[in-house]
Amino acid sequence: MEKKGIDVSKWQGTIDWNQVRQSGIEFAMIRAATGLTSDPNCEANLKGAEGAGLPVGLYLYSYALDVAQAEKEADFLLQTAEGHKISYPMAIDMEDKSQQQLTNAQRTEIALAFASKIREAGFVPMLYASKYWLENLFDRGRLGNVEIWVAQWGGQNSYNGSYGMWQYSNTGKVRGIGGNVDLDCACKDYPAMMAGEGWVRRGSRWYYGNCRDTWKKIDGRWYWFEPDGMAATGIQEVGGKWYVFADKSIGPVKECQCIYTDRDGAIV
């Protein structure tokens, strides 16, 4: 599935959100802030989009240069979300020149710290960056649990990694918006993820909706979801007891399933 969307900030001025909805746009990513400074149009855009029945996500242009600053930006974004229905990701936009001076490891730590805060609050975390940044300026192997929003303008996305959202134009024209607007497409059902519906694979790990730090019985099988939402695998201690969770699906056993055996050791 693909959904057509836009991302907006103060630069789009006053938006007629009903016309935007009628033009075929299906979601909007709204800039909440630059660093710890609110976008002056954020609240109006949130209310306008919600009033027109458009699902929304939020993003923050980051100036963070370390983990502590990234966590403050995440907290600021979460405060902005209060009182609103957020059904698309909460994203950190990393492209500032100051962050180019950091190492790949430092930039990755910033993205992970931001994502951890967002995930703990029950939202889907996302990293926005250009194709070049994503391919060259992060330790991508460590970003498996963070949704990716890749910016590459033009008719083709040649990013060589997995992603959930693509910003494909910065010169879009949409009824209800004067001037240019960024155009996006989402290739994942983020509202379903937020609603807690179904399995989602991020990187090499499995998640189920918003299950976190809890047991859940799914299709007759028990699973344990860690505090960050990952389905447990291997040998894990839960509540003072030890359990075994399948590393992969074999025969009747499904990946991440809690494995029980009878008195002879046979899987039940």
Whether 230 has a pLDDT exceeding 90, the answer reads no
Bridge partner residues of 37 (DSSP): 34
Tell me how far apart the terminal alpha carbons of the chain are, to the nearest angstrom: 37
Predicted TM-score of the model (pTM): 0.74
Question: What pairing do the DSSP bridges indicate for beta strands 86-93 and 125-130?
Answer: parallel
pLDDT at 1: 64
Burial-class residue 100 by CB neighbours within 10 Å (0-12, 13-18, 19+). exposed
Average pLDDT over residues 184-205: 79
CA–CA separation, 253 and 121 (whole Å): 32
For 39-95, the pLDDT digits (tens) are: 999 999 999 999 999 999 999 999 999 999 999 999 999 999 999 989 999 999 999
The pLDDT score that the predictor gives to residue 203 is 64
* Residue 264 vs residue 234, higher pLDDT: 234
Mean pLDDT, residues 203-225 taken together: 84
With 90 as the cut, is the pLDDT of residue 199 above it? Answer: no
* Chain centroid offset of residue 90 CA: 6
Average pLDDT along the chain: 93
Amino acid at 205: R
Query: Quick one: 227 exposed, middle or buried, by C-beta within 10 A (0-12, 13-18, 19+)?
Result: exposed
pLDDT tens profile 114-159: 999 998 887 999 999 999 999 999 999 899 889 999 999 988 899 9
Residue carrying the six token digits 């949130």: 46
The pLDDT confidence band at residue 96, using thresholds 50, 70 and 90, is very high
Comparing CA positions, the residue from 182, 102, 112, 167 lying closest to residue 141 is: 112
Handedness of CA 200, 202, 205, 209 (dihedral sign): negative
Burial class (CB in 10 A: 0-12, 13-18, 19+), 248: exposed
